[in-house]
A and B are shown apart, each in its own frame.
Chain A
């Protein structure tokens, strides 16, 4: 049921995205992210999973589209999290304690990151070279930068987690375009029947990757 709906969505977007990819721009129109946020998201995802000799990057895989589409799900509104007050901060090992759902984390995080980058480099994040973007993202990942009361670390972890989900989940969610994420690592996806390969010890699995929709690569 869900697979069929996903397949329909995929069919309607696959061609334009492929066509647009060469022009370096996604044909997908975001519904949650503003144009400035969308530009930031592209510039960041592009460094988290770069296009390189190993395989496609986050942009080619449609990760920004995945994240935008996720923003319309109950998850993004915090409906899978316990979000009752009071919100009291404590030791890191007791877990996330902010009143922000994923939508809030993106909104505040991207705004905070943009301000931080503008102040330090006098440019938008997306206008910086790859090495500088890496340095900034690494600082967010490991440092103590705060975007108001939102630690940059929390924003970074949210973005990295969703980027990985987008690149390696079933394409029905909008990412992993052309099954490029799965092909890169050799995960056969929804094939899900290995009766004949359980005891083929040490040998590479011979069949290609397949999506829930039946799309193959």
Chain B
């Protein structure tokens, strides 16, 4: 047992990212005493974001200064259940965060609401195409919440984040040129949309010309000065191009550090303990109630923090890992297709297309903002007829120019087929760097019976715990979806007048490759839902099995969304917090009775 026992608190929050900061804020507002445990260091704009030292591409994007240090703990990965999973030893395919702010400090800022039909995907697909349309082995599920349930919380999150965007409909009335396919909103965005960079503007015009419906991407990068409901201030984004991988020196990109923690740090009911690595949530002898958490402090002491309520709000896969290590919920068994913790592990299906322009046309790819850009949703969600296409899912398509800097430019080099070094590489890079536009098909990824998370039998982390094992591969449905949507991009690049184009498409039979960056938008593994046989959490993100544990994060998504996950994570955090405040705290126990 632990060598140090702390005084009991009302709630302990594991992880200092968006989800943890939102829950800590909401719980202290409800009068709860809250201890937040963050395994990484404390971070703030004044240190990690101090200009000009902070805008160092080598440190930010290549030595991953504000990301997870894999030397302590990583995961193992394999494509199929019959393989031996091997450790993810170097940061590549995905880049989890660490430290106060979590992934919410290094993120880009793309801030979406979920498409309503994606929340009821199984119901919708069955209704439109029939149950037989769902391929064998696909665990297609609903979230157990609807867009209408979540709308007030999407709205609240946007106001806290200072999100810039342009609405299409507010309270059913068309108000602007926003996303034609987006659901109605109760209020407009708190800030107007950011300006289009040139590439995004060319993309907007071309997409319109070919009959698609382009819109300004919703971005938690402030287009103007802003004070959020907590009284904290943001400055206007200056398109510096140092969003993803950096603490924003302009206080323009929303982060827990800028938008929430300044309102929490001085609250006497709140205590932040950084460099506190949680080993497990402790359960009582009935295994239905958590008694608190055990963690290692910065000196290596084992500490037990008792609490009435435990909020598990680390990154998606760390949440699943902690549930497995703590014995919360039944681990998933892919052979029997039973159990829920580790089930419906999903990713996101992103490929990049490049268009090259004449050398007289300067696209200035170094100008950028992480969340801004122009997108169209004509091939996302149920905005198009999947019937004749025979796949489930879709992709928004966008130009999201976040700022391509020197080292990245060198590694991208020239068009495919040119050498990666030598004079030919150099010439190709110089000829293309300032004259290219990159666009992404940012697609969904469905859940499959043999894609899951469990504990690795061989490799351990620096704390002696078995590491999490990922079994993941690309599947035919998702590859076909990507190929179809990307083929539609060709119409846009043609209308853009590109000199040359490379359509980035997945290849049939392609395997997941851990060596190249794809996206950090991992999801699922401890999903929400209405049925405890297929979900680890109920619709309020409360563990079905241990009712004083709530697990907040992208782990709750039953399918990988085409949108960036943070907007949904923040809305779910506010949704869960609302029900904890209004119902759970008055009468602790399961919020859903079966």
Q: Mark A50-67, 1 if CB is under 8 A from B, else 0.
A: 101011000000000000
What CA separation (Å) do A53 and B189 show in the bound complex? 50
Q: How many A-B residue pairs have CB under 8 A?
A: 204
- Which chain B residues lie closer than 8 Å to A172 at the CB level? 56
Stretch from A15-23, A114-122, A163-171 contacting the other chain = A163-171
Contact of B90 among A90, A96, A163, A181 (CB under 8 A): A96
Are B69 and A169 touching (Cβ within 8 A)? no
- 19 pairs, CB–CB < 8 Å, chain A vs chain B: A1-B53, A3-B52, A48-B421, A48-B422, A73-B63, A80-B63, A82-B71, A83-B89, A93-B513, A95-B515, A169-B62, A170-B56, A184-B426, A185-B409, A185-B433, A186-B433, A190-B52, A193-B240, A202-B360
Nearest chain A residue, comparing its CB with the CB of B512 = A93
Residues of B within 8 A of A84 (CB): 87, 459-462
For window 80-116 of chain A, which residues contact chain B by CB distance below 8 Å? Answer: 80-84, 86, 88, 90-97
Cα distance A181–B50 when bound, in Å? 24
Which of B58, B85, B90 has the most chain A CB atoms closer than 10 A to its own CB? B58
- Chain B residues close to A by CB (< 8 Å): 50-53, 55-59, 62-64, 69-71, 73-74, 77-79, 83-92, 195-198, 201, 236, 238-242, 249, 360-364, 366-367, 405-407, 409-411, 420-423, 426-427, 429-430, 433-434, 458-462, 511-515
Given A182-B406, A212-B53, A160:B421 Cβ within 8 A: yes
B407 interface neighbour in A169, A192, A195, A205, Cβ under 8 Å: A169
**With an 8 A cutoff between CB atoms, is A42 at the interface?**
no
Given known pairs A93-B515, A170-B57, the reply for A205 and B362 (CB within 8 Å) is yes
Which one of A160, A173, A202 lies within 8 Å of B58 (CB-CB)? A173
B421 touches A192 (CB 8 A): no
A22, B291: Cα distance in complex, Å: 71
**A184 and B88 within 8 A (CB):** no
Q: How far is the CB of A181 from chain B (nearest CB, A)?
A: 6
B62, B71, B89 — most chain A CB neighbours (10 Å)? B89
A173 nearest CB across to chain B (Å): 6
Q: Are A90 and B86 in contact (CB under 8 A)?
A: yes
Cβ of A199 and Cβ of B195 under 8 Å apart? yes
Are B71 and A194 interface neighbours, CB within 8 A?
no
CB nearest neighbor in A for B87:
A82
* Closest residue of B by beta carbon distance from A175: B58
- In the complex the two chains form, is A94's CB within 8 Å of B514's CB? yes
Residues in A neighbouring B63, C-beta threshold 8 A:
73, 75, 80
CA–CA, A163 to B407, complex, Å?
10
Question: Chain A 66-83, CB within 8 Å of chain B: the 1/0 string?
Answer: 000000010100111111
Residue of A nearest to B58 (CB): A169
Sorted nearest first, the 4 A-B pairs with minimum C-beta distance are: A168-B406, A192-B240, A3-B53, A169-B58
Bound complex: CA A38 to CA B86 (Å): 34
Given A48-B421, A80-B64, decide whether A203 and B70 contact each other with a Cβ distance below 8 A. Answer: no
Asked whether, in the complex, the Cβ of A2 is within 8 Å of the Cβ of B57, the reply is no
The answer to whether B58 touches A81 (Cβ under 8 A) is: no
Contacts of A6 in B (CB 8 A): 53
Q: Does chain B have a CB within 8 A of A188?
A: yes
Most buried by A among B422, B430, B513: B422
**A residues 1-55 with Cβ under 8 Å of B?**
1-4, 6, 47-50, 52, 54-55
How distant is B257 from chain A, measured CB to nearest CB, in Å?
A: 18
Q: Are B90 and A81 interface neighbours, CB within 8 A?
A: yes
Task: Give the distance to chain A from B155, nearest Cβ to Cβ, in Å.
Answer: 28
Residues of B with C-beta under 8 A to A147: none
Residues of A99-152 at the interface with B, using a CB-CB cut-off of 8 Å, are 134, 137, 141
Cβ-closest chain A residue relative to B62: A165
CB < 8 Å: which of A2, A50, A94, A186 contacts B422? Answer: A50
Which of chain A's residues have a CB closer than 8 A to the CB of B429?
185
Q: Which residues of A contact B89 (CB under 8 A)?
A: 81-83, 95-97
Cα of A193 to Cα of B70 in the assembled complex, Å: 33
Find out whether the CB atom of A80 lies under 8 angstroms from the CB atom of B91.
yes
Given A52-B423, A173-B58, A203-B362, answer yes or no on A80-B71 (Cβ-Cβ < 8 Å).
Answer: yes
CA distance A134 to B513 in the complex (A): 29
Known contacts A95-B515, A201-B201; A165/B423 CB under 8 A: no
Q: How far is the CA of A48 from the CA of B69 in the complex (A)?
A: 30
Chain B residues whose C-beta falls within 8 Å of the C-beta of A204 in the assembled complex: 362, 364, 434
A168-B409 in contact given A78-B71, A93-B514, A94-B77 (Cβ < 8 Å): yes
CA distance in complex: A168, B426 (Å): 12
The listed residue with most A CB atoms (<10 A of its CB), out of B52, B198, B422, is B52
In the assembled complex, the CB of A194 is this many whole angstroms from the nearest CB of chain B, namely: 4
The distance from the CB of B409 to the nearest CB of chain A, in whole angstroms, is 6
Name the one of B55, B92, B201, B430 contacting A184, with C-beta atoms under 8 angstroms: B430
Q: Please name all residues of chain B whose beta carbon is closer than 8 Å to the beta carbon of A202 when the two chains form the complex.
A: 198, 360-363
With both beta carbons as reference points, the residue of chain A lying nearest to B460 in the complex is identified as A84
Alpha-carbon gap, A71 to B241, bound state (A): 28
Q: Are A192's CB and B52's CB within 8 A?
A: yes
CA distance A209 to B301 in the complex (A): 49
* Chain A neighbourhood of B513, CB < 8 A: 93
Query: Are A197 and B58 interface neighbours, CB within 8 A?
Result: no
Question: Across the interface, do A97 and B55 meet the contact criterion of CB distance under 8 Å?
Answer: no
Q: Which of A91, A184, A188 touches B366 (beta carbons < 8 Å)?
A: A188
In the complex, what residues of B have CB within 8 A of residue A181's CB? 406, 410
Nearest to A48 among chain B residues (CB) is B421
- The answer to whether A199 and B196 have CB atoms under 8 Å apart is yes
Please, how many angstroms separate the alpha-carbon atoms of A37 and B429 in the complex? 29
B411 touches A134 (CB 8 A): no
User: Smallest CB-CB separation from B74: which chain A residue?
Assistant: A82
Q: How far is the CB of B90 from chain A (nearest CB, A)?
A: 5
Q: Complex: how many Å from CA A43 to CA B271? A: 56
A179 and chain B: residue at smallest CB distance = B406
CA distance A55 to B429 in the complex (A): 12
- Chain A residue at minimum C-beta to C-beta distance from B47: A1
Q: Is the CB of B511 within 8 A of A192?
A: no
